Structure 1
Amino acid sequence: MNGKDIIRLGLKGHLIGLALKAADARKGLSKRELLDELSSVIAHPQDYLDQPPYRGLAEELLKAESQQAAAERSRLRELPLAYDVWGPELIEDGARRQMNVAMRLPVSVAGALMPDAHVGYGLPIGGVLATRSAVIPYGVGVDIGCSMMLSVLPVENLERSEMLRLLQRHTRFGAGVGWEGRERPDHDVLDDPAWRESKLLGYLHGKAAQQIGTSGSGNHFVEFGTFRLDEPDLGLEAGEYVAVLSHSGSRGTGAQIAGHFTRVAERLHPHLDPEARKLAWLDLDSDDGQAYWQAMTLAGRYALANHEIIHARIAKALGVRALAQVSNSHNLAWKAELNGEQVVVHRKGATPAAAGQLGIIPGSMADPGYVVRGLGEPRSLESASHGAGRAMGRKDAERRIPKADMRAYLEARGVTLIGGGIDEAPMAYKRIDDVIAAQGDLVSVVGQFKPQVVRMDTGSEDI
């Protein structure tokens, strides 16, 4: 017997050598008998794991079968599933390409693209994706639980100088920034037993405690402004009110959770097309999937706790209680029912918009934001945009937008900015009114917020 005989049986590579070695250990058999035995091993390797001459070959055959099965499970569809798009004229081709890749995943069952959509990592920002029994860490994003909160306050004629003082005194921004000493706030989210459920969460607890009640960089903000209701709602009469609006997330805690579980997912899908690598998923019923879900849920709660502390500090400094408060998360995955089966709906930069559900869609640092009520549109997986959406990347904005133009834009709208940078200039964003108009079947507008004093991180360049 030689290698050619083995090749005719369908074996390749190192398996040929293993088969010849096994055949050599069975010298008492005829060639025909050896070929029959090897054919049986190839057909039923699990039956030969306890037979020494064939054990090595059987183990390698089963390993190859497992790898082939994994490759098949990771194989993308030839064509993306159909999905609906809102405001297609507002959306760049790159975001469409990313969504098309997501809709080719074997675990995907439905999707939608919001009018603020733009390119992100993995799923585009503004992408909504439903999957069957799977969760995608980068379908949620790095800033897990990134969210909005609006507090309507019972104060009148609050001076701009007082708004400035309150924001400078009671907010903190930037990578790694936290409150120090006795000023460090506490919150019951830090007592959640989930922090003790894994080594990763235990390690991150200290970071979470150090940064709680603060905001990150990028497009995170806290701002004072006026909130207008044209009709009674939210338990309030129609009219104009002083309000605080914030955009913040889970800080370094969420980022490390996202990075860790994305690496785990990528290792589990080594055969996934490179184009879809950042969309690697975890089976929801696996240990890794359950661990991510627990960590994601905790990070979402932690993000909302940051808002609660910020708003409570400002209200306490003013000696008041909020008249009304609205909040929502727009970077999370939710379990939902779709066509009679349970799915996981990923909203990466998308506002939940079930029928009657309140949400907040902000504009830019100098443009209005809107409190909205969901209309429960099933084609959008009961979702809406999470903001205006970027029209320029950060580096592009820094190159193209003159500082003088940004200053003039802010001045024309009566906005005072603390921090901020050219990369967050209003002109780097789509027009919020165009985005709102493109989703009239997804949400109805409840009220409008206009910023007056805005605090952000300094960005990549001071103004």
Structure 2
Amino acid sequence: MSKQTVRGNDLRKIGFPEGPAIGRALDVLEGRQFKKLDKGSALALLQQIQADPYKFLRDETWRDVAQELVPQPDKSVGLNPEIKDYRRYGEEFIEDGARKQMDTAMQLPVTIDGALMPDAHQGYGLPIGGVLAVDNAVIPYGVGMDIGCRMALSVFPLPEHELYQRAKELRNIILANTRFGSKFSAFDKKLDDAIFERPEFKEIAVLRGKRQTAVEQIGTSGSGNHFVEFGVVDITDPDNELDVPVGKYLGLLSHSGSRGIGAAVAQHYTKLAMNACPLPPEARHLAWLSLDSQAGQEYWAAMNLAGDYASACHDQIHRRISRALGEKPLAKVENHHNFAWRETLADGREAIVHRKGATPAGKGVLGVIPGSMTAPGFIVRGRGERDSLQSASHGAGRRMSRGQALKTLKEGDVRRELKDHGIELMGGGLDEAPMAYKDIHQVMAHQRDLVDVLGSFTPKIVRMDAGGKGGKGGE
């Protein structure tokens, strides 16, 4: 059956509104490239465009159709003409794309304040490293896809030299007790967790079908920049809150997020927000949900569940590895990003503070800011700086996009770089090469007012997803 059997009524049945979209879609189907397309395939494609026209705005073939299907901007949710002032840390090495994205966020009618961290780079919606305080609303893509992505560090009562003396054993421990990526094999013996009894799995529609996925993925890590690694913890501050004496110890650091749950929540509520709050194209990923709305309340509950699930995953990773190592940690530090918090600002106003790839750094709050595979990360204590909205960077930040790294870096050069620094890497890809990241020491120099350093963590045995090209991993 040929495509000529597709009629206007067929398009109305799959949700096309009356108007130019129908005629333009039929015109496209008359083109040469669709001559041999059968009716079922044509309608399936058109239904995809109708369901999410934003995806096709840059498609030369379907752009005109998609533009007719996108909800038109409403003056009530337009952008303010002026960009509210915000603090930028390390501005001289923040790319223009990230700055422009933050400028757009500062024009939203709901925006109260914002800041841009020194590891900032371009993303979707808010830039990675963007902090945005808004009034009584939540922006799903201001939180991001990997909700509650976090760092977790365990400091073991073992001296540094055991890392080198037991290197083969430690490598095998990581291999046996971690799983990565979307094609992981689940653990034969699963650890139970109270997270699975949470009522949100029954009460929130988008989560009902995700409980079993959550059960399978508990204790596993994502792709992209997610990792589990043994390394050297160097405690340098004698007055640290960890109650760990100054010295060097074996440490375990993990970085991952909420897996399939976070992605499902982000996709579902971003679409709802875009439909409820149509914005100009440059701001469309910043669509928000009012916290007075049912959808806003649902997202808030689902976001918190996803964040708690991410924490449960890290807890299981560290429990498994601690058991295999035969040691209990002296201390643990955990912090998260890609989240929204209800906070009181310095001027007394209550706001929803989004930290997209930014670390909470309230006064006395502990966290870990990683570098790259060949550079140290830092254990920090927040200083509660008001200009940064009590935030700091979440890492070194990318200086090359994933695509740029894959095109320009060579495997031989990366292997030599790792060998020169004594790094054993299991998995990983060129997109996560150390050369793709900014200098963590420069990043830290630009946030001396934001955090105090208690110590460092230097990676030595690293495991990442072996998928090769990686993924967004933290967006």
Please give the range of the TM-score, normalised by the shorter of the 2 chains.
0.7 to 0.9
For 1:147 and 1:428, the matched residues in 2 are separated by 21
Please state whether the residue corresponding to 2:418 is helix, strand or coil.
helix
Q: Deviations over 1:316-371 (max 9, x none)?
A: 11121110000001110000112222110000000000011001100112211111
Per-residue deviation, 1:461: 4.7
Please state whether the residue corresponding to 1:213 is helix, strand or coil.
coil
For 2:113 and 2:187, the matched residues in 1 are separated by 46
Per-residue deviation, 1:459: 4.2
For 1:190 and 1:179, the matched residues in 2 are separated by 17
For 1:368 and 1:167, the matched residues in 2 are separated by 20
For 1:365 and 1:190, the matched residues in 2 are separated by 34
Aligned to 1:248: 256
Q: Is 1:96 paired with 2:99?
A: yes
Aligned to 2:283: 276
The alignment's TM-score, normalised by the length of structure 2, stands at 0.81
Aligned with residue 306 of structure 2, among 299, 304, 312 = 299
Between the two proteins, what is the percent identity of the paired residues?
53
Aligned to 2:117: 114
Amino acid at match of 1:404: G
Asked if the contact 2:334/2:367 (under 8 Å) is kept, the reply is yes
> Matches of residues 53-452 of structure 1 in structure 2 within 5 Å?
71-156=74-159, 157-158=162-163, 159-181=166-188, 183-232=189-238, 233=240, 234-270=242-278, 272-338=279-345, 339-452=347-460
Amino acid at match of 1:166: I
Per-residue deviation, 1:274: 1.0
The alignment's TM-score, normalised by the length of structure 1, stands at 0.83
Please state whether the residue corresponding to 2:399 is helix, strand or coil.
coil
Q: Deviations over 1:16-54 (max 9, x none)?
A: xxxxxxxxxxxxxxxxxxxxxxxxxxxxxxxxxxxxxxx
Per-residue deviation, 1:73: 2.2
Change (3 A) 1:378 1:166: same
For 1:178 and 1:203, the matched residues in 2 are separated by 20
For 1:397 and 1:346, the matched residues in 2 are separated by 28
Asked if the contact 1:129/1:347 (under 8 Å) is kept, the reply is yes
For 1:459 and 1:428, the matched residues in 2 are separated by 18
Amino acid at match of 1:421: G
Amino acid at match of 1:427: M
Amino acid at match of 1:190: F
Asked if the contact 2:114/2:389 (under 8 Å) is kept, the reply is yes
Per-residue deviation, 1:438: 0.7
Asked if the contact 1:179/1:185 (under 8 Å) is kept, the reply is no
For 1:177 and 1:187, the matched residues in 2 are separated by 20
**Aligned-pair RMSD on alpha carbons?**
1.6
Asked if the contact 2:136/2:291 (under 8 Å) is kept, the reply is yes
Per-residue deviation, 1:404: 1.4
For 1:366 and 1:80, the matched residues in 2 are separated by 38
Per-residue deviation, 1:457: 0.5
Please state whether the residue corresponding to 2:147 is helix, strand or coil.
coil
Per-residue deviation, 1:185: 2.2
Asked if the contact 1:178/1:211 (under 8 Å) is kept, the reply is no
Per-residue deviation, 1:178: 5.0
Asked if the contact 1:145/1:300 (under 8 Å) is kept, the reply is yes
Please state whether the residue corresponding to 1:379 is helix, strand or coil.
coil
Amino acid at match of 1:226: V
For 1:331 and 1:198, the matched residues in 2 are separated by 21
Change (3 A) 1:461 1:105: closer
**Greater mean deviation of Cα atoms: 187-196 or 208-217:** 187-196
Asked if the contact 1:178/1:210 (under 8 Å) is kept, the reply is no
Per-residue deviation, 1:180: 3.9
**How many residues matched?**
394
Amino acid at match of 2:338: N
Please state whether the residue corresponding to 1:186 is helix, strand or coil.
coil
For 1:108 and 1:312, the matched residues in 2 are separated by 41
Please state whether the residue corresponding to 2:209 is helix, strand or coil.
helix
Asked if the contact 1:133/1:344 (under 8 Å) is kept, the reply is yes
User: Structure 2, unaligned stretches of length 5 or more?
Assistant: 1-70, 471-475
Q: Deviations over 1:282-339 (max 9, x none)?
A: 0011100000000000000000111100000010111211100000011100001122
- Larger Cα-atom Rg: 1
Q: Deviations over 1:88-134 (max 9, x none)?
A: 01200000000000000101010000000000010000000000011
Amino acid at match of 1:211: Q
Amino acid at match of 2:109: P
